[in-house]
């Protein structure tokens, strides 16, 4: 048995919040981002997307599982673009699993921090490439009346590793996400 098979479950156990009711939410986000490459070139793109899109390396749909008041959440941010034209199919899939913690939940606009890891996958007729991504963010959220959900604003930094097979360099994204979560 490898050391990781024992350390990962132990770390998750030690980081887990106290037992309590589990609550789910579903949300989306508006994205404003600046994407730069780390390949020595001076390439830069500015992106505005509603919702955020896999075409711009960003997830747009969020599924969350957390504590009853969503103070401790595990999120799965996803995005998919599938284009099929004249028998040729291109797909872009982005997914990121994150941990988010809210501080001072009693405040009208509560601060939170988020850290995550994920994958970006590009698939075409002749090639398939996958790249690792990671990121972190900080923001504020406002719980809407009667705890039906929350509005959030988050400043984020994400890095998508380069891919030699497709020629895509390492990408750095600094952005602003404005979103909402519907608590189910």
Annotated domain spans of the chain:
23-183
In angstroms, the first-to-last Cα distance of the chain is 39
Count the helix, strand and coil residues of the chain and give each as a percent rounded to the nearest 5.
Answer: 10, 60, 25
Q: How far apart are CA 55 and CA 157, in angstroms?
A: 18
What is the per-residue pLDDT across 99-155, written as a single tens digit (0 to 9) for each? 999 998 788 899 999 999 999 888 887 788 888 999 999 999 999 888 888 999 999
Q: How far apart are CA 56 and CA 31, in angstroms?
A: 10
Give the pLDDT band of residue 1 (cuts 50, 70, 90): very low
What is the per-residue pLDDT across 31-73, written as a single tens digit (0 to 9) for each? 888 888 865 556 777 777 766 776 677 778 899 888 877 888 9
Query: Which CATH number applies to 23-183?
Result: 2.40.160.20
Tell me which DSSP letter residue 11 carries: H
């Amino acid at each position: 048995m490898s050391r990781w098979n024992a350390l990962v479950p132990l770390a998750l156990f030690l980081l887990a919040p106290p037992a309590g009711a589990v609550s789910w939410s579903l949300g989306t986000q508006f994205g404003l981002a600046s994407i730069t490459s780390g390949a020595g070139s001076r390439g830069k793109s500015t992106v505005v997307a509603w919702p955020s899109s896999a075409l711009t390396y960003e997830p747009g749909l969020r599924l969350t599982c957390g504590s009853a008041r969503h103070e401790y959440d595990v999120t799965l941010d996803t995005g998919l673009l599938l284009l099929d034209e004249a028998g040729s199919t291109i797909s872009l899939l982005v997914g990121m699993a994150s941990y988010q913690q809210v501080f001072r939940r009693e405040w009208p606009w509560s601060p939170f921090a988020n850290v995550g890891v994920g994958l970006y996958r590009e698939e075409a007729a002749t090639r398939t490439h996958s790249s690792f991504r990671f990121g972190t963010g900080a923001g504020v959220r406002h719980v809407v009346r009667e705890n039906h959900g929350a509005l959030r604003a988050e400043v984020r930094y994400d890095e998508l590793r380069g891919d030699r097979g497709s020629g895509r360099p390492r990408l750095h994204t600094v952005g602003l996400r404005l979103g909402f979560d519907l608590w189910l």
